[in-house]
Amino acid sequence: MATYIVLLGPPGAGKGTQAKLIAEKLGLAHISSGDLFRENLKAQTELGILAQSYMTKGELVPDDVTIAMIRDRLSRPDCAQGALLDGFPRTPAQADALATMLASLGGSVKCVPLIAVPAAVLIERLSGRWSCRAAGHVYHEKFNPPKQAGICDLDGSELYQREDDKLETVQNRIAVYERQTAPLIEYYRQRGLLVEVDGARPIEEVGADLLAVVTR
């Protein structure tokens, strides 16, 4: 049966960093809703242009379009073994929709690791983040620097700083997380799926704990 894992955590907690590593180790598709919106924006699709108007303010893109995008993504062949969801769901309505989608595929969420990180640490992480243009590989100028400044170690593409990593937008993204996404902690706790991992430690230590959680 396919395995579906939801990675939960505030902006900058390290979801993308860890999801790439874990999905590869477990042979699961890595589905990042933020990356899907950014790909749509790059291709100037209607969805990408709509999403941008919310992302630049640090607000959530409306549930209906986000849910439709994930439904389509989950139906692709590379999700046959399952998927690691990073950044989705972000509201209780999205979580309900995910449960329905997975039920129609004959599956359900296996577990929900929460990467817990204090707000002050999040701001430092996001202000020093650099992402690669080709595939979204993530670096940090202090905590995880590339071998050569401005160049991705893995594919040689240019590194850039995200528009929504400006301090004012980051502060709003954290507030939006507290208001709209944090209720999912209780949502998944009540269903016996939530496992909290201390994310305020080096990348390797957090990764080892997450791997233990998702493989048990």
Residues acting as catalytic residues: 15, 90, 129, 162, 173
Per CB under 6 A, 138 contacts ligand AP5: yes
> Shortest distance, CB of residue 94 to ligand AP5, whole angstroms?
6
> Taking contact as CB under 6 A, which single stretch among the options 39-47, 104-112, 126-134, 153-161 is the one that binds ligand AP5?
126-134
The residues, ordered by sequence, that sit 6+ positions from 214 with a Cβ below 8 Å of its Cβ are: 5, 22, 26, 110, 111, 113
Alpha-carbon distance of 137 to 17, in angstroms, equals 8
Q: In this structure, are strands 129-132 and 159-160 parallel, antiparallel, or unpaired?
A: antiparallel
Could you tell me the two tokens for 161? 């700083």
Per-residue 3-state assignment (H helix, E strand, C coil) for 100-112: HHHHHCCCCEEEE
Residue closer to ligand AP5 (CB basis): 55 or 111: 55
Per CB under 6 A, 90 contacts ligand AP5: yes
Residue closer to ligand AP5 (CB basis): 1 or 158: 158
SS3 80: coil
> Shortest distance, CB of residue 98 to ligand AP5, whole angstroms?
10
Per CB under 6 A, 137 contacts ligand AP5: no
Per CB under 6 A, 73 contacts ligand AP5: no
> Shortest distance, CB of residue 189 to ligand AP5, whole angstroms?
19
Residue of 66, 90, 65, 77 lying closest to 29 (CA atoms): 77
| Size, binding site for ligand AP5 by CB under 6 A | 37
Residue closer to ligand AP5 (CB basis): 30 or 90: 90
The residues, ordered by sequence, that sit 6+ positions from 159 with a Cβ below 8 Å of its Cβ are: 130, 131, 132, 133, 139, 146, 150, 151, 152
Residue with tokens 């100028």, as numbered in its chain: 141
Could you tell me the two tokens for 52? 């941008």
User: By rule CB under 6 A, what string of x and - marks binding of each residue 142-161 to ligand AP5?
Assistant: -xx-----------------
Contact 200, 91 (CB under 8 A): no
Of these, 79, 185, 203, 211, which contacts ligand AP5 (CB under 6 A)?
203
Of these, 34, 82, 107, 113, which contacts ligand AP5 (CB under 6 A)?
34
Taken in order 141, 146, 148, 150, is the CA torsion positive or negative?
negative
Residues of this chain that bind ligand AP5 (CB under 6 A): 9, 11-17, 33-34, 37, 54-55, 58-61, 66, 87-88, 90, 94, 125-126, 128-129, 138-140, 143-144, 164, 173, 199, 202-203, 206
